[in-house]
Structure 1
Amino acid sequence: MALKRSGHDDFVVLDKATGIGGVWRDNTYPGAACDVPASLYSYSFGPRYPWSRRYAPQAEILDYLRRCVATHGLAPHLRLGRDVTEAVFDEDRLLWRLRTASGETIEAEVLVAACGQLNRPVVPRIPGAERFTGHTFHTARWDHDHALRGRRVAVVGTGASALQVIPAIAEEVEHLTVFQRSAPYVVPKWDRPLDPSGGLPRPVRDVRHKAARLGWWLFNESLVSGLTRRWPTVGLTRRGSQAQLSKQLSDPALRARLTPTTEIGCKRVGISSSYYPTLQRPDVTLVTEPITELTATALLTADGGRHEVDTIVYATGFAATDFLGPLRVRGRRGTDLSDLWREGARAHLGMTVPGFPNFFLVYGPNTNIGAGSALYMIESQVRYIKAAVLELTKGARAFLEVRPEVADAFDAEMTRRTRRSVWATCTSWYRHPSGRVTNNWPGQTVEYRRRTARLNPADFQPALPRQRRP
């Protein structure tokens, strides 16, 4: 959209799916919604949308994205159903050559990888899984043809998706068994219906929308330092979680099993006002013992328990630290990016990598956030990448390739700052198996916006003008 709005029309958007929307296209499980207020989880440039609730449901977000495509005339640029499997940089022609699963070849002067962090579901390897005769699926691949009414259902996992789906299906199933590996912190969800018009004129509604957006942004910015520097502000979140736990759970034994033992914020904090009450229902069972095996009809746990079910829903997250997934990217001299990232992904400002000219990442390493809207970070990256594209169109440079010493200095800073953050204190999807915190930005979003506000030519290798390319 940024390129289109700046008058640059020579681009294509490739997506392996047959429709737009990313996670909001894929995650259609019952109760799916955003846990960031819609006023903040939307593009600063619109279009305005008549959100029905403060926390927008999945269907509305997907509709909003489709409206953005229509409003900004992006449909002619979309190439859907193109599963890009490989991207190779041609050093002689200074072009990226992309190959799709169908054998199609596409060439481009600039390559932007916007694969996301939450699009490759992870299903745990449980001994005996092949023996299970019931039905299984992941929350991100919800099987709507499989009715849950009257069934004995297991939900494996208690992360963000589980906190939404568990209350949504509890009344429908015969019995629900929730398997918890570690108790999450859960804070109240201050949700409420919204009146799209409120009987107010459009200018007043716009002011209210901008005020709400600013307010939620400032609120989240105030919480971030509690995660990145472990300042006392994190205590506000802890007290909110503890108060809800005490108020909503009357059973001391159940409350004890749902009391987190990790440092708050090291894993994603859950947002729900209905999760704890659901676990108190007589037809819901919480299991905290590790799963050891699957039989034809049951999950077995380490305490010798046998839990009979006929449907298993895996709410077990995504391969978030595997940023490009099966896409193979090879830069200068055939260097494979997956080899460089074997111990964890890294990129200057989360966007550029030495040895990979005219290659940029959106929502890359160290650009996720512990509080706030990822769209704010993505808009910062989009502005930066747009500036890079416009710099290349001037013809003064044939390519942009970040200098190794610049990237190394940034990586050293990220390593130093994330080590003192709360995210380094436990295992989560924020951390690579090597121990590196590869996903999160160790500061406030305003800092990232400032540092990406302009393209610094000194950060990049000297390059021949386009007209002098060999």
Structure 2
Amino acid sequence: MPSEMALPERVDTLLIGAGMSGIAMGYHLKQRGLEDFIIAEKSDGFGGVWRDNRYPGAGCDVPSHLYSFSFALKSDWSRKYALRDEILEYFETCAERFGLGSHLRAGIAVRSLTFDEGEGRWQARFADGRQTSARVVISAVGQLSEPFTPEIDGLSDFAGPVLHTARWDRSVKLGGQCVALIGNAASAIQLLPEVSERARELTVFQRTPNWIISKPDRAFTSVEKWAFAHIPGWQRLYRWGSFLIHELRYPALVRGSLASRFTRWTGRRKINKGIKDPDLRAKLMPDYSPGCKRILLSNDYFEVMQRENVRLVTDGIARVLPDGVETASGEIVPADTLIMATGFVTTEFLPTLEVTGADGRCLRDVWGASPRAYKGVAVAGFPKLFLLYGPNTNLGHNSIIFMVERQAEYVADKVSLIIDGGLKSLSVRPDAESRYNAELQTRLSKTVWAGDCPSWYKTADGVITQNWEGLAYRFARTLKRNDDGDWEAV
């Protein structure tokens, strides 16, 4: 098994993370004949967040044919928006198809990276104390890998099961239970239908209401699957059509645009039509621009929230008791099981890694509260360290896999330059990084993400660290431009 394979003392490339970014990166390294690499993965296999997220109803909000690699099209997706198990199987199949299993070292977590300027190599230390030396390090840990649990007084004293959506325990039975669901965003609305059917009572604790649009989901017919598999070019045309439709949604994320105002109007209309009770309707009506927080897709959310055994609480949580939750207004809500749908640690990037670069500088200190990178993939002063799905490479309107593929291609070219050219160091110039990010933040200030709403897209001081500021296609063009002058090589 890969997890039992020896860890080499020296390797050309250390790739951290075996999720979709790690698989894409492994594929592009092998395409360029760069075979001397290992993939260090803290869990027991490929899949990343799709391996970790096993909660009921887990799925993707991007169409299946678009949420897949351009170099590994799948003609037999079961439905337009695939669920978790099918997505995980797809990524595992890709890893096997491209021979990445022999590169995987599963069940080991990288804890620190230190750059040795004398050797021009990164020294990596793992959680079990072992070490390896790499010419290049590529982080593919993603933005949504470390679960976030808020500090709530009394949480550790709760007597029943406490489940986090990112660490779900399928052995816990919810039938006949009083369930308290803390959180009301993407993962919450996916698991709500199934949990509400199992639980005797379900109380949903909401901090901020969400804008919700319909999800055009359905199963693919056998005729459609046949066409994808047998009509030359049809699946790729279908995929590009889906990509262009999603690109057309970006104007709705520009502050003050006609598309943004129209999205607000249709969202309010949906709530007004879907919720009968005026008090519940008022609680579910957002007061911020659509897209400032992630817009959610659901066809049954409003129906579920009006079920007799479902209740919405917006008072806030004062503390958790051994057998329930006390609200800020003093009400005691009984609970047998707590579900934390509270998302991930998003704005820190590499939160579990201690990274020390040239001149002994710590990446966490360099970043401070607002991580940044050149084109989302490199940080000045940290030679031959590359990030996938790094700062400002997330999207609010299209498929992240498109973005990650472009980054993997870009990084693979840089790795080829390093390995084939025998470079001791390759680092982005500080002035190039500063210029890039100054321009980026100026453009981001014109988007709805700069609005006054709490979201995981930005830090506490208001800097948008997660999202790219325009069309996905424009990001691809940015990475394609010749930027040799922005790099220093030794």
* TM-score of Structure 1 vs Structure 2, range by shorter chain: over 0.9
Aligned length in residues: 463
1:2 partnered with 2:60: no
1:380 corresponds to 2:441: no
Per the TM alignment, residue 11 of structure 1 is displaced from its structure 2 partner at its CA by 1.1
Looking at structure 1, the residues matched to 214 and 162 of structure 2 have their Cα atoms a distance apart, in angstroms, of 30
Of stretches 34-43 and 216-225 in structure 1, the one that deviates more from structure 2 is 216-225
Contact 1:152/1:174, CA 8 A, preserved across alignment: yes
Q: Find the aligned partners of 1:56 and 1:32 in 2 and give their Cα distance.
A: 9
Closer/same/farther in 2, CA of residues 9 and 177 from structure 1, 3 Å limit: same
User: 2:355 maps to which residue?
Assistant: 329
**2:126 aligned residue:** 100
Structure 1 residue 249: Cα displacement: 1.7
Q: Is the 8 A contact 1:158 1:181 kept in 2?
A: yes
**Aligned-pair distance for 1:128?**
2.1
| 1:274 aligned onto 2:300 | yes
8 Å CA contact 2:228, 2:235 repeated in 1: no
| Aligned match for 1:447, one of 447, 461, 474 | 474
Whether the 8 Å contact between 2:32 and 2:416 is mirrored in structure 1 is no
Q: 1:455 to 1:241 in 2, by over 3 A?
A: same
Aligned to 1:367: 393
Task: Give the conservation status (yes or no) of the 8 Å contact 2:260–2:289.
Answer: no
Q: Cα offset for 1:429?
A: 0.6
CA contact (8 A) 2:374 2:433 kept: yes
Where does the alignment leave 5 or more consecutive residues of structure 1 unmatched?
Answer: 465-470
Q: Counterpart of 2:164?
A: 138
Q: Which moved more, 1:68-77 or 1:5-14?
A: 5-14
Distance 2:251 2:30 in 1: 36
**Matched residue of 2:113: which SS?**
strand
**Residue from 188, 193, 205 that aligns with 1:179:** 205
RMSD: 1.6
Following superposition, the deviation at residue 224 of structure 1 comes to 1.4
CA contact under 8 A between 1:3 and 1:9: conserved in structure 2?
Answer: yes
Counterparts of 1:262 and 1:87, CA distance in 2 = 41
| 2:462 alignment partner in structure 1 | 435
Residue 208 of structure 1: which of 228, 231, 234 is its match? 234
5+ residue gaps, structure 2, are: 1-26
Cα deviation for residue 343 of structure 1 reads 2.2
Answer yes or no: is 1:290 the counterpart of 2:316.
Answer: yes
Distance (Å, rounded) in 2 between the aligned partners of 1:23 and 1:131 = 28
Distance 1:45 1:305, change over 3 A: same
CA contact (8 A) 2:372 2:391 kept: yes
Q: How far is 1:408 from its partner?
A: 0.5
1:174-323 alignment runs, 5 A limit: 174-195=200-221, 198=224, 200=226, 204-205=230-231, 207-323=233-349
Letter in 1 for 2:67: Y
Which deviations, in whole Å up to 9, do the C-alpha atoms of 1:98-142 show, x marking residues without a partner? 010111111111110111111111111112223321221211111
Partner residue, 1:17: 43
1:229-288 Cα offsets, whole Å, 9 max, x none, are: 542222443344233323322222211211111111110011001111001000111111
Q: CA deviation at 1:7?
A: 2.2
Aligned twin of 1:468? none
Q: Summarize the alignment of residues 420-431 of structure 1 with structure 2, pairs less than 5 Å apart.
A: 420-425=446-451, 426-431=453-458
Does the Cα contact within 8 Å between 1:34 and 1:58 map onto a contact in 2?
A: yes
**Is 1:125 the equivalent of 2:166?**
no
Alignment correspondent of 2:105: 79
* 1:447 maps to amino acid: R
Residue 52 (structure 1) aligned to one of 74, 78, 83: 78
Contact 1:246–1:255, Cα closer than 8 Å, also in 2: yes
Check conservation: 1:121, 1:319, Cα contact below 8 A: yes
SS state at 1:70 partner? helix
2:425 is the alignment partner of 1:399: yes
Structure 1 window deviating more from structure 2 (361-370 vs 192-201): it is 192-201
Residue 395 of structure 2 contacts residue 468 of structure 2 at CA under 8 Å; is this kept in 1? Answer: yes
Deviation at 1:206, TM superposition (A): 5.4
Contact 2:75 2:235 in 1 (8 A): no
1:304/1:206 CA distance change after superposition, 3 Å: farther
Does the aligned pair in 2 maintain the 1:228–1:418 contact within 8 Å? no
Provide the rounded CA distance (Å) in 2 between the counterparts of 1:121 and 1:35. Answer: 19
- Give the partner amino acid of 1:420: K
Moved more, 101-110 or 45-54: 45-54
Amino acid at match of 2:78: S
Q: 2: distance between equivalents of 1:200 and 1:52? A: 12
3-state SS of 1:117 partner? coil
Which residue number corresponds to residue 467 of structure 1?
none
Distance 1:447 1:202 in 2: 28
Q: Does 1:416 align with 2:406?
A: no
Kept in 1, the 8 Å contact 2:149–2:342? The answer is: yes
How far 1:225 moved relative to its partner? Answer: 2.7
Tell me the distance in 2 between the aligned counterparts of 1:166 and 1:384: 40
Q: CA deviation at 1:221?
A: 1.1
Q: 1:350 to 1:341 in 2, by over 3 A?
A: same
Distance 1:163 1:406 in 2: 42
State the secondary structure of the residue aligned to 2:133: strand
Instruction: Classify the secondary structure of the residue corresponding to 2:338.
Output: strand
**1:328-363 alpha-carbon deviations (Å, 9 max, x no partner):** 111001110000111210000011111111111000
In 1, the alpha carbon distance for the partners of 2:445 and 2:346 equals 19
Q: Bigger shift: 135-144 or 247-256?
A: 247-256
| Post-superposition CA distance 1:26-54 (Å, at most 9, x none) | 00000000000011110001142521110
Question: In the alignment, what sits opposite 2:190?
Answer: 164
Is the deviation greater in 78-87 or in 206-215? 206-215
How far off its partner does 1:201 sit? 5.4
Give yes or no for contact 1:49–1:64 (8 Å, CA) kept in 2. no
Q: More displaced, 279-288 or 387-396?
A: 387-396
**Alpha carbons 1:384, 1:455 under 8 Å: kept:** no
Mapped partners of 1:98, 1:397: distance in 2 = 19
Superposed CA offset, 1:75-107 (max 9, x none)? 111111111000111100101110101111111
Residue 418 of structure 1 deviates from its aligned partner by 1.9
